[in-house]
Amino acid sequence: MKELLDLFLLFAKIGATTFGGGYAMIPVIEREIVDRRNWATVEELMDYYAIGQCTPGIIAINTSTFIGEKRRGIVGGIVATIGFVTPALIVITVIAAVLQNFAHYAAVQNAFAGIRVCVCILILNAIGRLWKKSVVDKKTLLIFLAVFALSVFTNTSPVILVLASAAAGIVLQQFSVSGKKDGKERSGDGK
């Protein structure tokens, strides 16, 4: 029961104190889950982000669900998710109740303009962290460039991009493994 309470409180804290959306929360989740608690490795967390991005819903909520499930099964996943969404639900309800009365003020409009710029920076920071941990060799750079080009210059569905990237990762790894085997056989033949 204590671990379920810890899951709830941790994700409630992350949900209440981190602004800028799912990508902006990546460094905070990493610090709390990997560095402070050792509940997952960086590689596992990157896999959770990737799966969370590919599944319906918000990446940070999906990631909290995966971590909760890893810690305490289905109940842990539910508790972590509820913990994560509770602060946002309260804040959004309060903002929605009062925003209509103040949205027309210049100060409120300027505040939102400033917030949008800040969120862009938080997302860029998260992208930089993801880049360093994801684009680690020529194969992953090739996949990145192909997906970037397709996403910018075509209307290819994100689902297709994700599935194609997964297939490309498998195929490129197979070529890499078979190339290493061929190289070892050739070097063995010359002895």
The 3 state secondary structure assigned to 33-57 is HHHHCCCCCHHHHHHHHHHHHHCCC
pLDDT at 189: 53
pLDDT at 191: 47
Per-residue pLDDT tens for 165-186?
Answer: 989 999 988 887 666 666 665 5
pLDDT at 188: 56
Indicate whether 190 pLDDT > 60: no
